[in-house]
Amino acid sequence: MRKHLLSIAAVGLLVIMQGPARTVSQTSQNNSQQKEVAPDVPDAIQVPAGEEVVLFVHASGSQAYTCQAAAGDKFSWVLKGPEAELRDRNDKVIGQHSAGPTWKLKDGSEVTGKAAAQVDSLDADSIPWLLVKVATNAGKGSLAKVTTIQRVHTKGGKPPVEGCDASHRDAESKSSYTADYYFYAPAK
């Protein structure tokens, strides 16, 4: 009887040990095969049909502005460019976002783009959501085939309301911001 109980206990322990290992393996395999889902956005910044999300990043940094002369005797804050870290879904820094606008990843790939459309952010105190058309691609990494980018879920980043006048010509100001960027390429 005792041998029988030990055999049952050994089999039970073996099942317990093998069960989670198989589940972890299956979970890892499923996660690597999951594709990013495009965000829900207004029609004005929808990507063209036939493109799919190939990369998601979360940006955190600042939007830099310069006080410039405008029409007449007026002055206004003009965007100099973003300065932000790009992080993946695991919060790992994978690149930088800078003036151009340019997105450069540690894998050696890089894109520059030009805003094609925008809509107001859901947060009135934040910079707009954008649809960006890629102008140039470089490198062979994740951004190599990217053709379109969306900036969504923005928080902050607007220029100051005051402080730009003749006595502050060429002054710079930085506004903290965060945003999510979705990178698209033609579907395979």
Q: Which whole number is the average pLDDT over 9-20?
A: 38
Convert the pLDDT of each residue in 66-103 to its tens digit. 999 987 789 999 999 999 999 999 999 999 999 999 99
Q: Is the pLDDT of residue 34 over 90?
A: no
Q: Tell me the residue type at 73.
A: D
Q: Which two tokens stand for residue 75?
A: 């002055």
- Alpha-carbon span 116 to 151, nearest angstrom: 12
Q: What percent of the chain has pLDDT over 70?
A: 82
β-strand partners of 81 = 64
pLDDT computed for residue 26 by the predictor? 36
Length of the chain: 188
Rg of the chain taking only CA atoms, in angstroms: 24
Tell me the pairing of strands 102-105 and 75-87. unpaired
Residue among 159, 167, 174 at smallest CA distance from 77: 159
Number of neighbouring beta carbons within 10 Å of residue 108:
13
pLDDT computed for residue 35 by the predictor? 82
pTM of the model: 0.80
Pair 154, 39: CB distance under 8 Å: no
**15 CB-side CA count, 13 A:** 6
